[in-house]
Amino acid sequence: MTFAIGSDPPWSLVEWTVTGLSTAALGAATFVLRLATKLDRASTAIEWQKAEVAATKQAADAAVSRLSERIAELYQEHCRLREAAAALPTRTDLRDMEERLGERLAALAARIDGLLNDRGG
């Protein structure tokens, strides 16, 4: 009597069914495992990006603070310069001073000439 392996129809149907179901289950498990790995990498990347955004925001806030302080200093300096510029004489004032200075120099020169003429003559 010879026995043929795999010739029994009910067992081969069960074997094919078990093989198919186990292959599908392992495929699904592999898919879920790869998906979980990708999600873990994505969540790690998102956490890293959140940390980078927080650090960048903190640096930007510090830069804005420094900029606002610098702008306030520049505004104060601007106001001081405007006050100093307001205290400076205008062109009209300079012309008047030039004319008065010229008159005074001419009068002084005349006095010196008069004194020199009195001594010399």
| 114: containing domain | 90-121
How high is the pLDDT of residue 1? 44
Q: Classify residue 78: in a domain, yes or no.
A: no
The tokens describing 102, both together, are: 């010229």
Global pTM reads 0.50
DSSP string, the chain: ----TT--HHHHHHHHHHHHHHHHHHHHHHHHHHHHHHHHHHHHHHHHHHHHHHHHHHHHHHHHHHHHHHHHHHHHHHHHHHHHHHHS--HHHHHHHHHHHHHHHHHHHHHHHHHHHHHH-
Q: Classify residue 48: in a domain, yes or no.
A: no
- Give tens-digit pLDDT for 42-92: 999 999 999 999 999 999 999 999 999 999 999 999 999 999 988 888 999
pLDDT higher than 90, residue 3: no
Q: Classify residue 52: in a domain, yes or no.
A: no
pLDDT higher than 90, residue 12: no
Q: Classify residue 101: in a domain, yes or no.
A: yes
Section 88-109 average pLDDT: 93
Cα-only R_g, the chain: 50
Q: Classify residue 104: in a domain, yes or no.
A: yes
Q: Classify residue 12: in a domain, yes or no.
A: no
Phi and psi, residue 88, nearest 5° = -75, 150
Q: Classify residue 100: in a domain, yes or no.
A: yes
Rounded Cα–Cα distance for residues 21 and 47 (Å): 38
Q: Classify residue 4: in a domain, yes or no.
A: no
- Tally of domains in the chain: 1
Task: Please report, rounded to a whole number, the percentage of residues in the chain having pLDDT higher than 70.
Answer: 90
Rounded Cα–Cα distance for residues 14 and 23 (Å): 14
Cα–Cα–Cα angle for 93, 95, 101, rounded to 5 degrees: 100
